[in-house]
Amino acid sequence: MSFSDLPISIDPPFTVLIPTFNEQENIPELLRRLVEALPVDGRSPAPQLLFVDDSTDRTPDLLREAAAAAGCPLSITVLHRDVPEGGLGGAVVAGMRQAVGEWVVVMDADLQHPPALLPELVEAGRRQQADLVVASRYAVGGSRDGLAGGYRTAVSGASTLLTKGLFARELRGVSDPMSGFFAIRRSAVNPSELRPLGYKILLELAVRSRIRKVAEVPYTFGERYAGTSKSTVREGMRFLRHLLTLRLSTPAGRALAFGLIGLSGVLPNLGLLHLLVRAGMHYLPAEVVANQGALLWNLTLLESTLFRDRRHRHWASRIGRFWLLGNADLLLRIPLLALLVSGLGMQVIAATALTLIASFAVRFLVAERMIYVPRRAAPSSVVAGIGAQPVPVPAASVE
């Protein structure tokens, strides 16, 4: 299908969203290649080029001049931000709010992303009825020749693996989650739900948008045409923070983090107990005190990470409730500890560790057997058999 076959509509069929930060040397060549890539025949509206610019150089002037020039075949909008809130990610979200048409294609201004691929990204999305089309360096036929040097290649490869590992479900079907070149169906995105942190806007979109199907188009990541890269080591640290924030934004991720923090409390608990008993304290009150140390440890970790943004209640109320919750299991553990040590002659630290395991087991069993009882299997369910097929799962569904 070519663009001339598209039904005539008032809206441009898609928006090309290009974040720019001091790219003046790239603008003339970029516009030349965009005009070449986006044939405009006058019958259907031209795609909108939307530049979200945070530059301090002549980039916005060059863009405005081009837009005003007689004979400019493309519709160019420049959104210059005096305050570059959120950097690259913030620029893309600002652009999403202004975008028109069915699709938004995001690409860099330095020609590392070939403009010639633009129509193909949108067409692949339409043809495959996808919500997200990623231009991928890692899909068969793609390459990342333009990544400057072994260091950047290694960093990029490692972050891709880490990201895919952390977001295996959300990134099913996305081989290049670091890509800054992609097309997304506008109806799948709600810009006010996005909280980008730095460069990796695709990751943000894949996790927080309603993407049901992903398609990929391979491409060769080129060399920067002119100017220098704006990514820095600071950007790398921001990326790690972004990964953590995003992971903790889902219930499963929060539960896992809560569990790990709770588990880490075993160390201060046993350590403190050891010190107190060595200092001559009786082991039972010592464990009650050690438990307070572990609670303090857990509370500090939880309030500085997982619940950092949820400290709305008065601090005394938070500490009080947490304290009650965290000491409830002493009702079980202290008698058990007395039995193990005084009754059975076990060593104090080992016995305490055992009570912690027992407390965990009891809580798990109560939850599993008495609170979250599994459904009974339906009597007619087919267990296995010729022709029994697993229900196919869509290649890339993100609920």
Interacting residues with ligand GDD (CB under 6 A): 19-21, 23, 52-54, 84, 87-88, 91, 108-110, 112, 178-181, 199, 229-231
Quote the DSSP letter at residue 99: -
Tell me which of Mn ion, ligand GDD, none is bound by residue 84, counting a contact when its beta carbon lies within the kind-specific cut-off of 5 to 8 angstroms: ligand GDD
> Closer to ligand GDD at the Cβ: 14 or 199?
199
230 binds, among ligand GDD, Mn ion, none (CB under 5 to 8 A by kind): ligand GDD
Phi first, then psi: what are they for 214, rounded to 5°? Answer: -115, 140
Minimum separation from the CB atom of position 227 to ligand GDD (A):
8
Does the footprint of Mn ion cover residue 159 (CB under 5 A)? no
Handedness of CA 139, 217, 153, 179 (dihedral sign): negative
Quick count: other Cβ atoms within 10 Å of Cβ 130?
23
59, 77, 112, 159: which one contacts Mn ion (CB under 5 A)? 112
Nearer to ligand GDD, 23 or 216 (CB): 23
Q: Can you tell me which residue has the tokens 């000491």?
A: 327
* Residue 21 touches which of Mn ion, ligand GDD, none (Cβ within 5-8 Å per kind): ligand GDD
23 binding Mn ion? (CB under 5 A): no
Q: Pick from 93, 101, 118, 88: which is nearest to 23 by CA?
A: 88
Phi, psi (deg, nearest 5) at residue 215: -120, 160
The tokens describing 95, both together, are 């652009």
Does residue 110 belong to the site contacting Mn ion (CB under 5 A)?
yes
Residues 6+ apart with CB under 8 A from 100: 11, 12, 15, 48
One-letter identity of residue 357? I
Minimum distance, C-beta of residue 229 to Mn ion, in the bound complex (Å):
5
Between 112 and 269, whose beta carbon lies closer to ligand GDD?
A: 112
Tell the smallest beta-carbon distance from residue 92 to Mn ion (Å): 14
Residue 303 buriedness (CB in 10 A; 0-12 / 13-18 / 19+): middle
Q: Which residues bind Mn ion (CB under 5 A)?
A: 110, 112
